[in-house]
Chain A
Amino acid sequence: MGIDRRSFLKIVGLSALGVSSGAWEVLQPGEVDAAHGHGAVEHAAKAATRWAMVVDMRRCKDEKGCTKCIDACRLVHNIPVIENPKREVKWIWKELYEHAFPDTHNEYMADEFKETPFILMCNHCDNPPCVRVCPTKATFKRPDGIVAMDYHRCIGCRFCMAACPYGSRNLNWIDPRPYIRKINPEFPTRMKGVVEKCNFCVERLAQGLMPACVDACHCGALVFGNLNDPESNVRRILRKNVSMRRKPELGTHPCVFYLV
């Protein structure tokens, strides 16, 4: 044979490419017959809604360590309860003031403030750094302002976890199913390797319900509404009371407001 090894390998490589590109055509699934074809998706009219949450800390007094909002969220969304804090998954949780608002250090603050745990969750920022960094758009901003997660697309790179200035995001380090205390069969679980966080109960909003935590709070400390409607509950509260947000200097424009 008059051919040398390198040329032979090049020919084999190119032929394999040629064959596989031809074979690709054959392997494609056939065109779906239009006669059996499928329908279309109904496009709901979208008003310009912008969902927001007001946490009224004057009403949330943490009586006897109340965790109704946290428990409701866990139940509705099949959130695992993992003891090891390194692996925990929390969509809504409590932090003391100095940890919720760490850059507003004040040694002479009222004792009541120092000891009452604040309710924290994803802030569904208007300018979310997590959405900016996601390489697959697995986390994305909906038109109604909610920062949503597509668990099917997430590759688990955890860039969003590094980007979030509020520590709201969780990776499923292990399979969460064994740690779910009580199952809600209406809502799926998540698999290991994807990131999750509070979703402002989009699936409940779609049915016209309030988020689970808001429904569960018996003190009326959690108020959920439409920021774009000047007469909504949240706008009226924000007009009348002094409110604050976490780390506003970062320009993320969070949509969770705290009344103190």
Chain B
Amino acid sequence: MIEKALKGGPRYWAWISFLLLVIAIGFMFYLRQLSTGLGITGMSRDISWGVYIAQFTYLVGVAAGAVMLVMPKYLHGYKRYGEIIIFGEFLAIAAVTMCLLFIVADLGQPMRLMNVLLHPTPNSILFWDMIVLNGYLLINLIVGYNTILAMRKNVPPPGWIKPFIYLSIPWAFSIHTVTAFLYCGLPGRHAWLTAIMAPRFLASAFASGPAFLVILLMIIKRVTKWSPDPEAIQNVARTICYAMIANLFFLGLEFFTAFYSQIPGHMHPLKYLFWGLWGYNSLVPWMRVSIIAGLIGVFIMLIPPLRRKEGFLILGCAAIVLGTWIDKGVGLVIGGFIPNPFEKITEYQPTLPEISITLAIWATGFLILTVLYKMVIYLKERDLAVE
């Protein structure tokens, strides 16, 4: 059914061409990165992880967010989600693929990637991250593929995929917990060494993943003949709202621990991020925007008259996507390195090649998403025409 992705109007092909162009440009820069080294990025001895790992961290969350639809439908019989779950699973596939691409793009010696498999190291969290990410991708591929085959024939999916679906629920929690473990087990990085890192990750994931999905579904509503069940969307929006409230609450908890204890090591990263520290303040505007965006998002999602208006719904979801993206990517990953182990500050700014490669990988993810969604939309529109 992938050939359905080859049929489309001029707007569709304009979109595909745009994505291919972004991918081509980024790929050229990646070749330069392979020949010159990671020195063409803005990373440094002090900030050794940058935009690539930040995107990876954010996208693991987006991938895990699908579980917020799977759990109500399969564990609690909430049938309204039935027709949109496939979109969540395909979003998870695209997101995990982007994660894997970002990790590979970030490696200094990507040709040695197989060393992680040739020399398995169970005490390393990166090893487990590789396992859980690829496992989640596999689960979603199996479930998604079989679901779409069944949709094609208008039959319910085969019963044997149920165990995989049930497996995907704890697995979704695990991919993001393991990613959080990358950070929260490292001694010497005060900003990361907190038990609430995993809960923060999960709350952010369960807000950003479904918010991303809602935006995609609203776009589909605009450009295709099919539209999702409005009540289902409203329920997703309520989930997003509560998850985002939890996320902001957890952030508040971090502030309390740092500033009530007055321990410099805990205060300094937060001071740097939100107020500036020792004259360095390049991330302050970003972080403040992230908080404001998060609050706007929660406000819209919380108030039913606002939430039911499509324009506000999209705005709210976009605000939450932006807020979580900054909070996780910029605040968490970059902020964790500042101040450095010597209590000095080196700031970080991504370079043009780095941004281009990042956009190329995002474009790859969107390309995968477009192709997969095109198949689903074809089937949905076909069923609409029959009715």
Contact = CB atoms under 8 A, between A and B. Distances in A.
A–B contact with Cβ pairs below 8 Å: the answer is yes
Interface of A: 85-88, 95, 98-100, 102-103, 105, 129, 132-138, 153-159, 161-167, 170-175, 191-195, 247, 250-252
20 contacts: A86-B45, A95-B342, A102-B341, A102-B342, A133-B123, A135-B115, A154-B108, A155-B115, A156-B112, A158-B108, A163-B187, A165-B186, A166-B341, A170-B45, A172-B108, A173-B44, A193-B38, A250-B187, A250-B188, A251-B187
Contact of B49 (A136, A138, A158): A158
A133 B311 CA distance: 46
B43 interface: yes
Given A86-B44, A98-B343, A165-B341, A154 B127 contact: no
A156 B119 CA distance: 15
B186 A133 contact: yes
Q: Which of A102, A136, A192, A250 has the most CB of B within 10 A?
A: A136
Given A132-B123, A135-B126, A162 B49 contact: yes
B348 to A, nearest CB: 9
Give 7 nearest A-B pairs by CB, closest first: A156-B108, A165-B188, A193-B108, A86-B44, A192-B37, A173-B39, A174-B39
A155 B188 CA distance: 23
Nearest to B38: A173
Interface string B322-343: 0000000000000011001111
Nearest to A105: B264
Interface string B96-116: 000000010011111011011
B148 to A, nearest CB: 12
B24 interface: no
Contact of A174 (B37, B116, B118): B37
B182 interface: yes
B341 A164 contact: yes
B371 interface: no
Q: Which of B49, B113, B118, B186 has the most CB of A within 10 A?
A: B186
A74 B164 CA distance: 55
A192 to B, nearest CB: 4
Contact of A157 (B44, B126, B342): B126
B121 A162 contact: no
B36 A174 contact: yes
Interface string B53-82: 000000000000000000000000000000
Given A154-B108, A156-B109, A129 B188 contact: yes
B344 interface: yes
A164 B109 contact: no
A166 B188 contact: yes
B46 interface: yes
Given A87-B44, A137-B119, A165-B188, A159 B124 contact: yes
B349 to A, nearest CB: 11
B63 to A, nearest CB: 20
B261 to A, nearest CB: 14
Contacts of A85: 44-45, 346
Q: How large is the interface on B (under 10, 10 to 19, 20 to 34, 35 or more residues)?
A: 35 or more
B194 interface: no
A173 to B, nearest CB: 4
A132 B126 CA distance: 10
Nearest to A157: B107
B116 A136 contact: yes
A95 to B, nearest CB: 6
A175 B109 contact: no
Contacts of B109: 154-156, 191, 193-194
Contact of A135 (B37, B45, B46, B121): B121
B39 A167 contact: no
A171 B108 contact: yes
B125 A133 contact: yes
Contact of A155 (B38, B112, B342): B112
A172 B37 CA distance: 8
B119 A136 contact: yes
B119 to A, nearest CB: 5
Given A133-B124, A192-B108, A158 B48 contact: yes
Contacts of A161: 45, 48
Given A98-B343, A134-B124, A174-B37, A157 B108 contact: yes
Contacts of B103: 157
B359 to A, nearest CB: 22
Given A102-B341, A103-B264, A156-B112, 14 more contacts: A85-B346, A86-B43, A95-B342, A102-B343, A103-B265, A133-B185, A135-B115, A135-B121, A156-B109, A167-B45, A167-B340, A171-B48, A174-B36, A194-B108
B20 interface: no
A167 B37 contact: no
A99 B119 contact: no
Contacts of A157: 103, 106-108, 126
Contact of A132 (B106, B124, B188): B124
Contacts of A138: 115
A193 B265 CA distance: 31
Interface in B253-285: 264-265
Contacts of A129: 186-188
B108 A135 contact: no
A155 B341 contact: no
A99 B38 CA distance: 27
Nearest to A195: B108
Interface string B223-247: 0000000000000000000000000
A135 B188 contact: no
Contacts of B126: 133, 135, 157, 159
